[in-house]
Structure 1
Protein backbone atom coordinates (compact mmCIF):
# COMPACT_ATOMS: atom_id res chain seq x y z
CA UNK A 1 0.00 0.00 0.00
CA UNK A 2 2.78 2.41 0.93
CA UNK A 3 4.61 1.75 -2.35
CA UNK A 4 1.47 2.61 -4.32
CA UNK A 5 1.16 5.88 -2.43
CA UNK A 6 4.81 6.75 -3.04
CA UNK A 7 4.57 5.92 -6.72
CA UNK A 8 1.26 7.73 -7.21
CA UNK A 9 2.52 10.87 -5.48
CA UNK A 10 6.26 11.11 -6.02
CA UNK A 11 6.39 10.17 -9.72
CA UNK A 12 4.04 13.01 -10.78
CA UNK A 13 5.93 15.40 -8.47
CA UNK A 14 9.21 14.36 -10.07
CA UNK A 15 7.74 14.88 -13.53
CA UNK A 16 6.38 18.27 -12.49
CA UNK A 17 9.79 19.27 -11.15
CA UNK A 18 11.54 18.46 -14.43
CA UNK A 19 8.70 20.03 -16.41
CA UNK A 20 9.30 23.30 -14.58
CA UNK A 21 13.07 22.90 -14.71
CA UNK A 22 12.83 22.84 -18.53
CA UNK A 23 11.38 26.34 -18.45
CA UNK A 24 13.75 27.60 -15.78
CA UNK A 25 16.81 26.39 -17.72
CA UNK A 26 15.51 28.07 -20.86
CA UNK A 27 15.00 31.40 -19.09
CA UNK A 28 18.17 31.37 -16.98
CA UNK A 29 20.49 30.19 -19.76
CA UNK A 30 18.69 31.78 -22.72
CA UNK A 31 21.74 33.79 -23.77
CA UNK A 32 23.66 30.51 -24.13
CA UNK A 33 20.80 28.43 -25.56
CA UNK A 34 19.93 31.07 -28.17
CA UNK A 35 23.27 32.11 -29.59
CA UNK A 36 23.11 33.59 -33.08
CA UNK A 37 21.12 31.23 -35.26
CA UNK A 38 21.80 28.23 -33.01
CA UNK A 39 18.95 27.14 -30.75
CA UNK A 40 19.33 24.58 -27.97
CA UNK A 41 16.13 23.40 -26.31
CA UNK A 42 16.29 21.52 -23.01
CA UNK A 43 13.91 18.54 -22.99
CA UNK A 44 14.32 17.25 -19.46
CA UNK A 45 10.69 16.14 -19.26
CA UNK A 46 11.31 13.83 -22.22
CA UNK A 47 14.49 12.46 -20.65
CA UNK A 48 12.58 11.73 -17.46
CA UNK A 49 9.67 10.11 -19.28
CA UNK A 50 12.04 7.83 -21.19
CA UNK A 51 13.96 6.84 -18.07
CA UNK A 52 10.79 6.27 -16.05
CA UNK A 53 9.40 4.01 -18.76
CA UNK A 54 12.08 1.48 -17.77
CA UNK A 55 10.83 1.26 -14.18
CA UNK A 56 7.13 2.12 -14.21
CA UNK A 57 4.43 0.06 -15.94
CA UNK A 58 3.46 1.23 -19.42
CA UNK A 59 -0.19 1.86 -18.49
CA UNK A 60 0.83 4.36 -15.78
CA UNK A 61 3.46 5.95 -18.00
CA UNK A 62 0.94 6.46 -20.79
CA UNK A 63 -1.40 8.25 -18.37
CA UNK A 64 1.44 10.42 -17.04
CA UNK A 65 2.63 11.19 -20.56
CA UNK A 66 -0.86 12.19 -21.71
CA UNK A 67 -1.34 14.39 -18.64
CA UNK A 68 2.03 16.09 -18.92
CA UNK A 69 1.68 16.38 -22.68
CA UNK A 70 -1.54 18.31 -22.14
CA UNK A 71 0.07 20.49 -19.47
CA UNK A 72 3.13 21.06 -21.69
CA UNK A 73 0.92 22.08 -24.60
CA UNK A 74 -1.10 24.42 -22.40
CA UNK A 75 1.84 26.00 -20.61
CA UNK A 76 4.62 26.20 -23.21
CA UNK A 77 3.08 25.80 -26.67
CA UNK A 78 -0.47 27.12 -26.81
CA UNK A 79 -1.52 24.57 -29.44
CA UNK A 80 -3.22 21.64 -27.76
CA UNK A 81 -2.43 18.22 -29.11
CA UNK A 82 1.20 18.45 -30.18
CA UNK A 83 2.85 17.05 -27.06
CA UNK A 84 -0.28 15.13 -26.07
CA UNK A 85 0.52 13.01 -29.12
CA UNK A 86 4.32 13.07 -28.84
CA UNK A 87 4.78 12.14 -25.17
CA UNK A 88 2.74 8.89 -25.31
CA UNK A 89 4.39 8.11 -28.65
CA UNK A 90 7.86 8.20 -27.09
CA UNK A 91 6.66 6.00 -24.22
CA UNK A 92 5.29 3.50 -26.74
CA UNK A 93 8.45 3.60 -28.85
CA UNK A 94 10.69 3.21 -25.80
CA UNK A 95 8.61 0.24 -24.63
CA UNK A 96 9.06 -1.47 -27.99
CA UNK A 97 12.81 -0.73 -28.13
CA UNK A 98 13.53 -1.86 -24.59
CA UNK A 99 12.12 -5.30 -25.40
CA UNK A 100 14.72 -5.90 -28.10
CA UNK A 101 17.68 -3.96 -26.66
CA UNK A 102 19.58 -4.47 -23.42
CA UNK A 103 18.73 -1.35 -21.40
CA UNK A 104 22.05 -0.02 -20.11
CA UNK A 105 23.07 3.65 -19.86
CA UNK A 106 24.54 3.75 -23.39
CA UNK A 107 21.47 2.15 -24.97
CA UNK A 108 19.15 4.41 -22.98
CA UNK A 109 21.21 7.41 -24.13
CA UNK A 110 20.80 6.27 -27.73
CA UNK A 111 17.04 5.89 -27.16
CA UNK A 112 16.99 9.46 -25.89
CA UNK A 113 18.77 10.65 -29.04
CA UNK A 114 16.41 8.67 -31.30
CA UNK A 115 13.29 9.90 -29.49
CA UNK A 116 14.46 13.51 -29.38
CA UNK A 117 15.37 13.40 -33.06
CA UNK A 118 11.90 12.13 -33.91
CA UNK A 119 10.21 14.71 -31.71
CA UNK A 120 12.25 17.65 -32.97
CA UNK A 121 11.79 16.58 -36.59
CA UNK A 122 8.04 16.16 -36.11
CA UNK A 123 7.85 19.60 -34.48
CA UNK A 124 9.85 21.16 -37.30
CA UNK A 125 7.59 19.64 -39.96
CA UNK A 126 4.44 20.51 -37.98
CA UNK A 127 5.45 24.15 -37.55
CA UNK A 128 6.56 24.36 -41.17
CA UNK A 129 3.15 23.14 -42.37
CA UNK A 130 1.48 25.72 -40.13
CA UNK A 131 3.78 28.43 -41.44
CA UNK A 132 5.39 29.19 -38.06
CA UNK A 133 8.89 28.47 -39.33
CA UNK A 134 10.53 29.31 -42.62
CA UNK A 135 13.95 27.73 -42.07
CA UNK A 136 15.05 25.05 -44.51
CA UNK A 137 15.90 21.44 -43.68
CA UNK A 138 19.68 21.99 -43.61
CA UNK A 139 19.38 24.95 -41.27
CA UNK A 140 17.07 22.94 -39.02
CA UNK A 141 19.58 20.08 -38.81
CA UNK A 142 22.61 22.32 -38.20
CA UNK A 143 21.13 25.08 -36.06
CA UNK A 144 18.30 23.39 -34.17
CA UNK A 145 18.49 19.60 -34.08
CA UNK A 146 22.25 19.23 -33.59
CA UNK A 147 22.57 21.74 -30.73
CA UNK A 148 19.39 20.42 -29.05
CA UNK A 149 20.64 16.84 -29.18
CA UNK A 150 24.02 17.89 -27.81
CA UNK A 151 22.49 19.84 -24.92
CA UNK A 152 20.13 17.02 -24.03
CA UNK A 153 22.88 14.43 -24.21
CA UNK A 154 24.85 16.49 -21.68
CA UNK A 155 21.72 16.83 -19.51
CA UNK A 156 21.15 13.07 -19.79
CA UNK A 157 24.69 12.38 -18.59
CA UNK A 158 24.15 14.74 -15.63
CA UNK A 159 20.73 13.46 -14.52
CA UNK A 160 20.84 9.76 -15.45
CA UNK A 161 22.33 8.16 -12.33
CA UNK A 162 20.72 10.44 -9.71
CA UNK A 163 17.34 10.13 -11.41
CA UNK A 164 17.70 6.36 -11.77
CA UNK A 165 18.44 6.04 -8.06
CA UNK A 166 15.47 8.24 -7.15
CA UNK A 167 13.09 6.24 -9.33
CA UNK A 168 14.42 2.93 -7.97
CA UNK A 169 13.99 4.21 -4.44
CA UNK A 170 10.43 5.35 -5.13
CA UNK A 171 9.65 1.95 -6.65
CA UNK A 172 11.24 0.24 -3.66
CA UNK A 173 13.71 -1.85 -5.68
Structure 2
Protein backbone atom coordinates (compact mmCIF):
# COMPACT_ATOMS: atom_id res chain seq x y z
CA UNK A 1 0.00 0.00 0.00
CA UNK A 2 1.50 3.34 -0.99
CA UNK A 3 1.84 6.32 1.32
CA UNK A 4 -1.12 8.29 -0.14
CA UNK A 5 -3.56 5.45 0.53
CA UNK A 6 -2.25 5.09 4.09
CA UNK A 7 -2.59 8.83 4.68
CA UNK A 8 -6.16 8.80 3.31
CA UNK A 9 -7.06 5.91 5.60
CA UNK A 10 -5.48 7.83 8.47
CA UNK A 11 -7.55 10.93 7.62
CA UNK A 12 -10.74 8.88 7.58
CA UNK A 13 -9.86 7.30 10.93
CA UNK A 14 -9.05 10.77 12.29
CA UNK A 15 -12.52 12.05 11.35
CA UNK A 16 -14.16 8.89 12.72
CA UNK A 17 -12.29 9.35 16.01
CA UNK A 18 -13.55 12.95 16.19
CA UNK A 19 -17.06 11.67 15.41
CA UNK A 20 -16.76 9.22 18.29
CA UNK A 21 -15.46 11.96 20.62
CA UNK A 22 -18.54 14.06 19.76
CA UNK A 23 -20.80 11.31 21.02
CA UNK A 24 -18.60 10.53 24.00
CA UNK A 25 -18.46 14.16 25.07
CA UNK A 26 -22.20 14.54 24.73
CA UNK A 27 -22.82 11.39 26.71
CA UNK A 28 -20.20 11.93 29.42
CA UNK A 29 -20.38 15.66 30.07
CA UNK A 30 -23.23 17.38 28.37
CA UNK A 31 -26.10 15.07 29.28
CA UNK A 32 -25.87 16.46 32.79
CA UNK A 33 -25.61 20.06 31.57
CA UNK A 34 -28.37 19.92 28.91
CA UNK A 35 -31.20 19.27 31.35
CA UNK A 36 -32.56 22.82 31.31
CA UNK A 37 -33.30 25.23 28.53
CA UNK A 38 -29.69 25.53 27.35
CA UNK A 39 -28.56 23.07 24.67
CA UNK A 40 -24.84 22.60 24.00
CA UNK A 41 -23.81 20.64 20.91
CA UNK A 42 -20.21 19.39 20.74
CA UNK A 43 -18.65 19.66 17.28
CA UNK A 44 -15.24 17.99 17.46
CA UNK A 45 -15.83 16.33 14.10
CA UNK A 46 -16.32 19.76 12.54
CA UNK A 47 -13.08 20.87 14.19
CA UNK A 48 -11.21 17.93 12.64
CA UNK A 49 -12.81 18.56 9.26
CA UNK A 50 -11.88 22.27 9.36
CA UNK A 51 -8.28 21.39 10.23
CA UNK A 52 -8.05 18.85 7.42
CA UNK A 53 -9.73 21.23 4.97
CA UNK A 54 -7.12 23.87 5.75
CA UNK A 55 -4.40 21.38 4.76
CA UNK A 56 -5.88 19.29 1.90
CA UNK A 57 -5.68 20.76 -1.61
CA UNK A 58 -7.84 18.21 -3.45
CA UNK A 59 -11.40 19.58 -3.67
CA UNK A 60 -12.83 16.23 -4.86
CA UNK A 61 -11.46 14.54 -1.74
CA UNK A 62 -12.96 17.29 0.43
CA UNK A 63 -16.37 16.90 -1.21
CA UNK A 64 -16.23 13.14 -0.71
CA UNK A 65 -15.35 13.55 2.97
CA UNK A 66 -18.10 16.14 3.43
CA UNK A 67 -20.83 14.05 1.84
CA UNK A 68 -19.83 10.74 3.44
CA UNK A 69 -19.32 12.06 6.95
CA UNK A 70 -22.33 14.34 6.71
CA UNK A 71 -24.44 11.32 5.80
CA UNK A 72 -22.96 9.31 8.68
CA UNK A 73 -23.55 12.17 11.14
CA UNK A 74 -27.12 12.66 9.95
CA UNK A 75 -28.01 9.00 10.11
CA UNK A 76 -26.46 8.50 13.55
CA UNK A 77 -27.39 11.67 15.43
CA UNK A 78 -30.33 13.31 13.68
CA UNK A 79 -32.32 10.77 11.75
CA UNK A 80 -33.12 13.48 9.19
CA UNK A 81 -30.77 12.80 6.30
CA UNK A 82 -29.73 15.97 4.58
CA UNK A 83 -28.81 18.49 7.25
CA UNK A 84 -25.11 17.69 7.62
CA UNK A 85 -24.99 16.04 4.19
CA UNK A 86 -25.68 19.41 2.59
CA UNK A 87 -23.98 21.76 5.03
CA UNK A 88 -20.63 19.98 5.58
CA UNK A 89 -19.63 19.97 1.89
CA UNK A 90 -20.71 23.62 1.61
CA UNK A 91 -18.51 24.53 4.56
CA UNK A 92 -15.56 22.57 3.21
CA UNK A 93 -15.78 24.09 -0.26
CA UNK A 94 -16.15 27.56 1.26
CA UNK A 95 -13.03 27.08 3.38
CA UNK A 96 -11.15 25.63 0.42
CA UNK A 97 -12.20 28.54 -1.77
CA UNK A 98 -10.99 31.23 0.66
CA UNK A 99 -7.97 29.57 2.26
CA UNK A 100 -5.64 31.22 -0.25
CA UNK A 101 -6.20 34.44 1.72
CA UNK A 102 -4.45 32.94 4.73
CA UNK A 103 -0.72 33.42 4.86
CA UNK A 104 -0.03 30.55 7.23
CA UNK A 105 -2.09 28.11 9.24
CA UNK A 106 -2.02 29.21 12.85
CA UNK A 107 -4.29 29.04 15.84
CA UNK A 108 -5.93 32.44 15.29
CA UNK A 109 -6.87 31.79 11.68
CA UNK A 110 -8.11 28.30 12.37
CA UNK A 111 -10.11 29.46 15.40
CA UNK A 112 -11.82 32.17 13.36
CA UNK A 113 -12.58 29.76 10.52
CA UNK A 114 -13.86 27.14 12.98
CA UNK A 115 -16.00 29.79 14.71
CA UNK A 116 -17.52 30.94 11.40
CA UNK A 117 -18.03 27.33 10.24
CA UNK A 118 -19.72 26.39 13.50
CA UNK A 119 -21.97 29.45 13.33
CA UNK A 120 -22.87 28.67 9.71
CA UNK A 121 -23.52 24.99 10.51
CA UNK A 122 -25.71 25.59 13.56
CA UNK A 123 -27.63 28.41 11.87
CA UNK A 124 -28.08 26.30 8.74
CA UNK A 125 -29.39 23.38 10.78
CA UNK A 126 -31.78 25.70 12.58
CA UNK A 127 -33.05 27.16 9.28
CA UNK A 128 -33.47 23.72 7.68
CA UNK A 129 -35.30 22.44 10.76
CA UNK A 130 -37.58 25.49 10.60
CA UNK A 131 -38.25 24.81 6.91
CA UNK A 132 -39.02 21.17 7.64
CA UNK A 133 -41.14 22.22 10.64
CA UNK A 134 -39.06 20.12 13.04
CA UNK A 135 -38.71 22.97 15.53
CA UNK A 136 -40.79 25.94 16.61
CA UNK A 137 -38.07 27.74 18.56
CA UNK A 138 -37.83 31.45 17.91
CA UNK A 139 -34.66 32.95 16.44
CA UNK A 140 -33.85 34.77 19.68
CA UNK A 141 -34.25 31.61 21.76
CA UNK A 142 -32.04 29.73 19.30
CA UNK A 143 -29.30 32.35 19.54
CA UNK A 144 -29.56 32.64 23.33
CA UNK A 145 -30.01 29.03 24.39
CA UNK A 146 -28.34 27.01 21.63
CA UNK A 147 -25.97 28.99 19.43
CA UNK A 148 -24.25 31.03 22.15
CA UNK A 149 -23.56 28.15 24.57
CA UNK A 150 -22.52 25.87 21.69
CA UNK A 151 -20.04 28.43 20.39
CA UNK A 152 -18.63 29.05 23.87
CA UNK A 153 -18.25 25.34 24.66
CA UNK A 154 -16.63 24.52 21.33
CA UNK A 155 -14.20 27.43 21.46
CA UNK A 156 -13.02 26.25 24.90
CA UNK A 157 -12.65 22.70 23.55
CA UNK A 158 -10.80 24.12 20.51
CA UNK A 159 -8.22 25.74 22.79
CA UNK A 160 -7.75 22.49 24.69
CA UNK A 161 -7.49 20.20 21.65
CA UNK A 162 -5.84 22.51 19.11
CA UNK A 163 -2.22 21.44 19.41
CA UNK A 164 -2.75 17.65 19.27
CA UNK A 165 -5.37 17.84 16.51
CA UNK A 166 -3.39 20.35 14.43
CA UNK A 167 -0.21 18.27 14.67
CA UNK A 168 -2.08 15.08 13.80
CA UNK A 169 -3.90 16.64 10.86
CA UNK A 170 -0.65 18.18 9.56
CA UNK A 171 1.04 14.78 9.76
CA UNK A 172 -1.89 13.04 8.06
CA UNK A 173 -1.82 15.37 5.06
CA UNK A 174 1.92 15.50 4.49
CA UNK A 175 2.62 13.04 1.63
CA UNK A 176 6.36 12.83 1.52
CA UNK A 177 8.37 10.05 3.05
CA UNK A 178 10.83 11.01 5.72
CA UNK A 179 14.29 9.85 4.77
CA UNK A 180 16.44 8.14 7.37
Q: TM-score range by the shorter chain?
A: over 0.9
Residue in structure 1 matched with residue 84 of structure 2 by the alignment: 83
Q: Structure 1: how far apart are the matches of 2:93 and 2:138?
A: 30
How far did residue 35 of structure 1 move?
A: 4.5
Q: Structure 2: how far apart are the matches of 1:83 and 1:154?
A: 23
- Checking the alignment, whether the CA contact within 8 Å between 1:117 and 1:149 is kept in structure 2 is yes
Alignment equivalent of 2:142, drawn from 140, 143, 164 = 140
Aligned residues: 173
1:61-80 to 2 correspondences below 5 Å: 61-80=62-81
- Checking the alignment, whether the CA contact within 8 Å between 1:3 and 1:170 is kept in structure 2 is no
- Checking the alignment, whether the CA contact within 8 Å between 1:51 and 1:108 is kept in structure 2 is yes
- Checking the alignment, whether the CA contact within 8 Å between 1:47 and 1:156 is kept in structure 2 is yes
Structure 1 position 15 matched with structure 2 position 12 = no
How far did residue 169 of structure 1 move?
A: 2.1
Q: Structure 2: how far apart are the matches of 1:49 and 1:83?
A: 12
TM-score, normalization by structure 1: 0.92
Aligned-residue CA RMSD (Å): 1.6
TM-score, normalization by structure 2: 0.89
Residue in structure 2 matched with residue 34 of structure 1 by the alignment: 34
How far did residue 18 of structure 1 move?
A: 0.7
- Checking the alignment, whether the CA contact within 8 Å between 2:62 and 2:93 is kept in structure 1 is no
Spell out, residue by residue over 1:77-107, the C-alpha distance to the aligned partner (whole angstroms, 9 max, x if none): 1111111111111101111221123332111
Q: Secondary structure at the match of 1:29?
A: helix
How far did residue 123 of structure 1 move?
A: 1.0
Q: Structure 2: how far apart are the matches of 1:2 and 1:154?
A: 37
Residue in structure 1 matched with residue 44 of structure 2 by the alignment: 44
- Structure 2 portions without partners, runs of 5+: none
